[in-house]
Structures are given as C-alpha cells and as structure tokens.
Amino acid sequence: MKYSISFEKLLELFPTSKVEGSTEQTKFCGISALERATSGDISFLGNAKYKKLVPTSNASVILLPHSYTGTPSHNQIYLKIDDPSVGLACLCKFLEKEFAPSPPAEIHSTAWIDPTAKVGERVSIGAFSFIGKNATVGNNSKIGTHCHVGDYSVVGESCQLYPSVKLLTHCYIGSRVTLNAGVVVGSEGYGFDTVDGVHEKIPHLGKVVIEDDVEIGANTCLDRARFEETRIGKGTKIDNLVQIGHNVRIGNGCLIVAQVGIAGSVKFEDEVVVGGQAGFAGHLTVGKGAKIAGQAGITKNVTPGAFLKGNPALPFKLSQRISILQKRLPELFNRFDAIESND
C-alpha cells in the first residue's frame, strides 16, 4: 500500500500528544519497526523490551509513551501519547480507510443471486459469488469474490466477507461480523457410529449462529450442530486455522488464537482467552475469564478465572515449576549414579 500522511494530520489523530524535536519532513510515507525504519518512516515503541532501540532508530517520527525519557536525534520527532500500540492501530485504521477504501456498493455481473434471496441496500457482491434460495444479505454488507451464501442463511448489516468465504445452508450471521478469506461456516460436523465394523456417518441437521461484532480469521472452520446450534458469542475474536466442532458454544468477548482445536459440545463462558495450538476434549465447560496457555491439552472442566498450561493442563505456576525442575533431572540422575557407585 502506498500512502503519505502529513504531520498536521498526525496531530489531528493524536490531539493530546506531546511533541519533542523537529524534522524537515513534511509528509511520512511508511510505518516500520524501530530497527528497520529509515528517514520518512513512522515507528513506535509498543513493548518496553525494545526501548534500547529508540535512540538508534532512523525513523522521522516515533510514537512513545509519556513515561519515555530521552532526546530525539537531529531531524526526528518524538510524539508522546498514552499508548503507542493503540495509537498505531488508530493510525492504521485511518490509512486503511483513506488509501484502501471499501469496494463500491455494486453487484458484479458474474454474481448469481437466487430470485428468492433478499439483498439490502448499499450491498457489494463480488465476482463469481453465489447467494442461495431465501438467503438474506443485510444493508451495507460486502461480499467478496467467490463467496457462497447458502440457502436460508442470513448475513446481517455491515458485515465483511472476504474472498472464498463459504456460509452454508441455514446459518445466521449478526451485524458487523468479519469473516476473513477461506472461512467455512456450517460445514458438516465430524461424527460417526461404528455399526458391524463400518463407520456410519451421523447426519448433522443443526446450524451455526454468529452474534454481532465477531471476527473470524482465515481458513477457520465452524461445524454445524448435530441438532440445535453451534454459537459464537458477541464480540468474540477468533484467529486463523481454528477448528470449532459441532454444538460448541463460545461466550461473549472470548479470544481464541491460531490452530486451536475445540471438540464437539464444548462450552466457553464469557471472556475466555486461549493461546495457539491448545486442544479441548469434547463435552467440557471452560469457566468465565479462564486463560489457557498455548499448546495446552484440556481434558477436564476448567473453573472460572483459572490459568492453565501444559498437557495435561495444570495451574500455570505449578506447570512452570515442573518445567524448571525437569531441567534439573540430568543433574539429579548423575547424583544418584554417584551415590550408587559409592555404595
């Protein structure tokens, strides 16, 4: 993306900022990490461990917390704000809106819309997309190229479906939902009964419900329920490559990082946080506000507010202690060998 932003516009974005230093640059044309920034770039200090990189950075403007002490170099500005990470996100949102605007509200000539479907006002539907029988697309929603909205499914208002999203039959998406490229909603659940040595497929007749303000990352799959529904609560954010099994219920405001696997009929209460590659056995309940570390294996119910790590998962501090003790095992065995040889 090519863009430029003036210092005056930066000050408009951060009206309570404190300015230190000066620069001959009138426009800034890049955002870079502290160590890779060059003249004309904007950088930021979002993590205190990179503080030592600030004095040597060549960025023209550096977003810094008010607590930072130091002096800008020649032809450089320190822009001190409450939270540089939040400030950078604000800047990126402005640039995205300004220089990568949303597609116009139009329906491409190659899109196929069933005559019974209902398409709202100011809707964009990209090339080779399909809107099925009795489906609904709400006002201001944007459907990318090669998307599929199945029969009797509903896309709410102001949603964004990126290319190749597949929303299968009888699924419901609320308002302001973002589905990134390759997301599959409503695929058949994984279930078989073994009869006379043969794996007989169990039909899955339920649906998937995604509430308002949810974002789901690329190539994540949400299975339809065996009956009733698989549900994702309001404001939950799910990363790429996550597998959510049939009849799973995710609460409000949860955060689920990449490559997590959730087996069928698991229930997350509100505000659960899950690290990457964690796995959950079926029919469990994870209590409100629980935190699950990356690669944890969850085989039992999790109490509200718990912080678990490891496989099988243990309380975080206990798991950390065990990890430290494991490193001492070779030394311990050497001591045992020495004692036995002396006997």
Active-site residues, by number, are: 246
Q: What is the CA 20 to chain-centroid distance, rounded?
A: 35
Bond prior to 315 in cis (omega within 30° of 0)? no
**Could you give the residue ranges of the DSSP H alpha helices within the chain?**
7-13, 84-99, 316-327, 329-342
* Token representation of residue 341: 């040889």
Do 229 and 210 touch, CB atoms closer than 8 A?
no
Number of helical H runs and strand E runs in the chain: 4, 39
CA distance 106 to 86: 33
Torsion over CA of 314, 315, 316 and 318, rounded to 10 degrees?
-80
CA distance 84 to 76: 17
Contact partners, residue 156, CB within 8 Å, separation at least 6: 138, 141, 173, 174, 175, 176, 177, 212
Do 158 and 195 touch, CB atoms closer than 8 A?
no
Measured in residues, the chain has a length of 343
* Token representation of residue 70: 């130091």
Do 2 and 55 touch, CB atoms closer than 8 A?
no
* Token representation of residue 229: 């529904």
* Token representation of residue 139: 């006002």
| Residue 257: closest CA among 269, 279, 273, 270 | 273
* Token representation of residue 318: 């206990």
Q: Among all chains, which residue has been given the structure tokens 């009964």?
A: 193
